[in-house]
């Protein structure tokens, strides 16, 4: 698995780097970013938090706007931020910002033309971690987090793979995509008309029925413009209560959907993950 280093910057005693590689699951080249804290070395493998970004975003949003590296350096935690979809010439796209490139929804598409490249679930769960663990001084202890569409991805992936993740968190996740416009548009295109398939990628539906629990934290701004139509945190909370799921849902008055919100509480989320990743 050959990877190419694109950028390298020292931060808080560690290193932030961007890489590109040929992703077999996506049938295209992909870019990801990694922050390796100063504790990472050939003799000391550190745990990893995988961060999934939202609609229209790339690996750069969280690395440039959140301030995540300062706390990761203190805690001794690597951060890996993949792109949000396959990209490039020949990769299917849509005129809307909420479908196609930049909007992969972290699932495996079964419908043409999307199924040729849009296998983001396989990439995030299998291919990328295998590459990271084979290339860098990191352990196989993983947590996963994300924002908006990426919060949807983090929650659903952790709920479907509790043996792979020590903890999961999300900012402003799309919590009930089968009942919101973003989710309905994406699921119709990527998965077709079978609503049973949709439910397998809906955090509220999954949280209601899973048997093995991953510690979960969600932070939601109460001034988020997408709160009621698209995000629906109450559906997630209802599902957690019905199943006794250990969900910590924090509501923050006055905060919106932006990285101003994320940067305000990213330290709390990383310390939440450290309880389970670093013992």
Q: In what order do the strands lie in the sheet with 28-36?
A: 3-11, 14-23, 28-36, 78-82, 46-52, 138-147, 168-171, 216-221, 247-252
Cα separation of 20 and 31, whole Å? 4
**148 assigned to active site:** yes
CB atoms within 10 A of CB 117: 22
Q: 257 an active-site residue? A: yes
Instruction: Please report where in the chains the tokens 């001794």 appear, as a residue.
Output: 76
Annotated catalytic residue: which of 25, 148, 167, 169?
Answer: 148
16, 201, 257, 273: which is the annotated catalytic residue? 257
The candidate with the shortest Cα–Cα distance to 69, out of 49, 88, 54, 55, is 49
Q: Residue 42: what are its φ and ψ, rounded to 5°?
A: -65, -20
Q: How far apart are CA 4 and CA 239, in angstroms?
A: 43
Q: Say if CB 101 and CB 85 are below 8 A apart.
A: yes
Candidates 59, 83, 219, 224; catalytic one: 224
Active site residues per annotation? 148, 224, 257
């Amino acid at each position: 698995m050959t990877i190419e280093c694109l950028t390298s910057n020292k931060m808080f005693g560690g290193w932030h780097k961007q890489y590109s590689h040929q992703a077999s699951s996506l049938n295209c080249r992909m870019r990801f970013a990694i922050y390796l804290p100063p504790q990472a070395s050939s003799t000391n493998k550190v745990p990893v938090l995988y961060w999934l970004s939202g609609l229209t975003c790339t690996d750069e949003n969280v690395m440039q706007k959140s301030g995540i590296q300062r706390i990761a350096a203190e805690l001794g935690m690597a951060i890996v931020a993949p792109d949000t979809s396959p990209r490039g010439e020949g990769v299917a796209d849509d005129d809307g910002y909420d479908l196609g490139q930049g909007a992969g929804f972290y699932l495996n598409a079964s419908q043409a033309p999307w199924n040729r490249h849009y296998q983001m679930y396989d990439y995030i769960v299998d291919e990328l971690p295998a590459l990271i663990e084979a290339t860098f001084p990191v352990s196989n202890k993983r947590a996963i987090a994300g924002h908006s569409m990426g919060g949807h991805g983090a929650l659903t992936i952790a709920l479907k793979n509790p043996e792979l993740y020590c903890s999961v968190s999300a900012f402003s996740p799309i919590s009930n995509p089968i009942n919101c416009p973003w989710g309905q548009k994406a699921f119709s295109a990527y998965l077709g008309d079978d609503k049973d398939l949709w439910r397998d990628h809906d955090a509220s539906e999954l949280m209601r029925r899973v048997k093995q629990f991953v510690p979960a934290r969600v932070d939601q701004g109460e001034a988020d413009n997408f709160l009621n139509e698209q995000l629906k945190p109450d559906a997630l909370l209802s599902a957690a209560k019905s199943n006794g799921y250990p969900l910590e849902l924090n509501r923050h008055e006055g905060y919106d959907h932006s990285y101003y919100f994320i940067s305000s509480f990213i330290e709390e989320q990383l310390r939440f993950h450290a309880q389970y990743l670093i013992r």
